[in-house]
């Protein structure tokens, strides 16, 4: 196999563990905290999880290991979209398992949850695992988006677990995947199978966080990767001085990625979806907000700039959200086939006009034709608009362009407006993990095995105090049910992990808010550069600006 010099070097990197986990497994014991309850809907969640609800948070501390020695056969899956560091979670889990007893076994089930159902697996060995240390991607066993949520699926998993003598299953995933981990843990406990289930928090979107989970893995590397690219574009814009770059970044349900990239690069504009929703900003208000910055800079002879747009911004705009809901109703059931059978866009346009309310059609009418058509592309599995297919960066640049034409005709805008568009998504999902993510992920995996060894189930592997050096990190676990509430999904009440949105009274947003007016009109760009793996700790082991501002 041909390897780049960086690949070879990264294989040799030894991830840093929290101080407590460095003591040696024989010298790690458990300190139990208070009993927990869910963030909301306590009675309903408790009723759904009678065997795993209300458990205590735990922390690992120095002391004699009191766990019961037994052979462990552990299964692991990667679930959902890729995030840098996933391989190191598996490597940390493997190393802890083998350090405890060389006869312990780790099975990797291929292709995500479906591999667990279909019994498609590989048994990890030293030789195999060493090929993936400190590398990006999920190619070690692949991933998938099959949901583990039905009794029939759980019965299949139970059969596979019995076949292999599994003592535990580790699910590495985001909020939906760890919700499924909690439900599977409850099933296994209710059936008294003896199979434990442990989750690990993953998502580059950054929305799997709370008072216990300070960061989801992959967020650090992904935002550093996007910020490098944005910084490069800023430098180009400042050199060529002739384009406004509209850059869409990942983050459908929350704007953490956009905010972190703005803190790293200080662009002229960054939209925060949570603020748009809180202020009930209209499309016209957002357009004017951007156009004001373009006009001020253009009239000062600076016909260039950078605007960061979160992927899911349109869902935060109340009038656009209402439009999407009406479109979902308009095309419900067989109406989709009827719509698709219409011979031309003009015919489809008439169909839309008749089916929408006057208020929603007024919103629809101001959209560029390309965006209008994107709203009627292939539906998601639930028959809804796929918001991720909407090119919101092009939407706002086109609306700004039209607004500037009006201002030029009125004599207020003297500049020139050229547009460039970018979408940064896949570029960051499988990057070489930063030192922070390599260390954090390895610690999450190592820690997950400690939870297994001590008999816990329905817990999330927890590593905290992340703004400090790894030596000062704390390791332990928290019941997944603590993070859950009831939400309406597809017409049913479902227990789900509550997504973390950008807190408008939080320190990261407040810092951004205090500086954005200056960044809007002045060229205040900063250039983060590429992720650094070797050199001074203050350069190579930096955490995100978000975490630094939150924790100090």
pLDDT at 160: 98
pLDDT at 492: 81
Other CB atoms within 10 A of residue 11 CB: 14
Which member of 205, 207, 437, 439 is catalytic?
Answer: 205
Asked if residues 520 and 512 have their Cβ atoms less than 8 Å apart, the reply is: no
- Which string of b and e fits 144-156 if b means at least 16 CB within 10 Å? bebbbeeeebbeb
pLDDT at 462: 97
pLDDT in tens, 375-428: 988 777 666 777 778 899 999 999 999 999 999 999 999 999 999 999 999 999
CATH number of 35-218+433-497: 3.40.50.450
205: annotated active-site residue: yes
Task: Please give the class, per CATH, of domain 223-323+383-428+506-551.
Answer: alpha beta
Asked if residues 488 and 496 have their Cβ atoms less than 8 Å apart, the reply is: no
pLDDT at 382: 63
Question: Same CATH topology for 35-218+433-497 and 223-323+383-428+506-551?
Answer: yes
Beta strands per DSSP E along 283-394: 305-310
| Residuewise pLDDT in 10s, the chain (552 residues) | 688 999 999 999 999 999 989 878 889 999 999 999 999 999 999 999 999 999 999 999 999 999 988 999 999 999 999 999 999 999 999 999 999 999 999 999 999 999 999 999 999 999 999 999 999 999 999 999 998 889 999 999 999 999 999 999 999 999 999 999 999 999 999 999 999 999 999 999 999 999 899 999 999 999 999 999 999 999 999 999 999 999 999 998 899 999 999 999 999 999 999 999 999 999 999 999 999 999 999 999 999 999 999 999 998 999 999 999 999 889 887 788 899 999 999 999 999 999 999 999 999 999 999 999 999 887 776 667 777 788 999 999 999 999 999 999 999 999 999 999 999 999 999 999 999 999 999 999 999 999 999 999 999 999 999 999 999 999 999 999 999 999 987 678 899 999 999 999 999 999 999 999 999 999 999 999 999 999 999 899 999 999 999 987
Please choose, from the candidates 192, 197, 218, the residue with its C-alpha nearest in 3D space to the C-alpha of residue 207. 218
CA angle 10, 13, 19 (to 5 degrees): 145
Tell me how far CA of residue 543 lies from CA of 22, 442, 501, 550, in angstroms: 21, 16, 20, 11
Q: What is the residue extent of each domain of the chain?
A: 35-218+433-497, 223-323+383-428+506-551
Pairing status of strand 269-270 against strand 419-424: unpaired
pLDDT at 252: 84
Please choose, from the candidates 111, 121, 118, the residue with its C-alpha nearest in 3D space to the C-alpha of residue 75. 121
Structure tokens at 259: 């905010």
pLDDT at 383: 67
pLDDT at 335: 85
């Amino acid at each position: 196999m041909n390897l780049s010099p960086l690949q070879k070097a990264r294989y040799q990197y030894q991830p840093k563990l929290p101080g407590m986990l460095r003591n040696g497994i024989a010298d790690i014991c458990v300190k139990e905290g208070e009993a927990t309850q869910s963030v909301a809907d306590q009675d309903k969640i408790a009723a759904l999880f009678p065997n795993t609800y209300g458990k205590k948070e735990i922390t690992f501390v120095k002391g004699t290991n009191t766990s019961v020695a037994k052979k462990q056969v552990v299964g692991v899956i990667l679930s959902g979209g890729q995030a840098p560091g996933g391989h190191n979670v598996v490597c940390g889990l493997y190393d802890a398992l083998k350090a405890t007893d060389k006869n312990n076994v780790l099975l990797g089930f291929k292709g995500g949850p479906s591999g667990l159902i279909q019994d498609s697996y590989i048994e990890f060995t030293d030789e195999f695992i060493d090929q993936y240390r400190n590398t990006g991607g999920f190619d070690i066993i692949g991933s998938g988006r099959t949901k583990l949520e039905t009794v029939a699926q759980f019965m299949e998993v139970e059969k596979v677990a019995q076949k292999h003598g599994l003592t535990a299953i580790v699910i590495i995933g985001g909020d939906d995947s760890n919700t499924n981990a909690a439900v599977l843990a409850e099933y296994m406990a209710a059936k008294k199978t003896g199979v434990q289930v442990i989750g690990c928090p993953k998502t580059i979107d950054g929305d799997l966080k709370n008072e216990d989970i300070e960061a989801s893995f992959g967020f650090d590397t992904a935002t550093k990767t996007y910020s490098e690219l944005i910084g490069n574009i800023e430098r180009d814009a400042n050199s060529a001085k002739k384009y406004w770059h509209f850059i869409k970044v990942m983050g459908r349900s929350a704007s953490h990625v956009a905010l972190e990239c703005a803190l790293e690069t200080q662009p002229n504009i960054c939209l925060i979806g949570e603020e748009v929703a809180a202020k009930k900003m209209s499309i016209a208000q957002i357009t004017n907000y951007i156009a004001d910055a373009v006009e001020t800079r253009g009239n000062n002879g600076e016909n260039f700039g950078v605007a960061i747009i979160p992927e899911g911004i349109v869902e935060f705009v109340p009038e656009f959200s209402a439009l999407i809901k009406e479109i979902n109703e308009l095309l419900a059931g067989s109406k989709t086939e009827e719509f698709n059978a219409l011979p031309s866009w003009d015919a489809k346009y008439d169909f839309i006009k008749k089916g929408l309310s006057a208020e929603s059609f007024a919103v629809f009418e101001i959209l560029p034709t390309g965006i209008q058509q994107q709203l009627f592309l292939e539906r998601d599995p639930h028959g809804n608009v796929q918001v991720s297919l909407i090119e919101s960066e092009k939407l706002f640049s086109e609306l700004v362009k039209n607004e500037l034409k009006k201002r030029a005709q009125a004599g207020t805008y003297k500049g020139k407006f050229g547009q460039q568009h970018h979408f940064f998504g896949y570029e960051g999902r499988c990057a070489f993990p930063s030192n922070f993510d390599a260390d954090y992920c390895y610690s999450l995996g190592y820690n997950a095995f400690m939870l297994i060894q001590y008999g816990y189930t329905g817990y999330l592997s927890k590593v905290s105090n992340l703004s400090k050096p790894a030596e000062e990190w704390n390791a332990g676990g928290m019941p997944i049910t603590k993070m859950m509430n009831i939400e309406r999904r597809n017409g049913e009440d479902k227990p789900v992990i509550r997504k973390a949105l950008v807190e408008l009274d939080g320190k990261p947003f407040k810092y951004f808010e205090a500086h954005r007016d200056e960044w809007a009109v002045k060229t205040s760009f900063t250039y983060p550069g590429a992720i650094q793996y070797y050199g001074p700790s203050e350069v190579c082991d930096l955490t995100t600006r978000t975490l630094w501002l939150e924790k100090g």
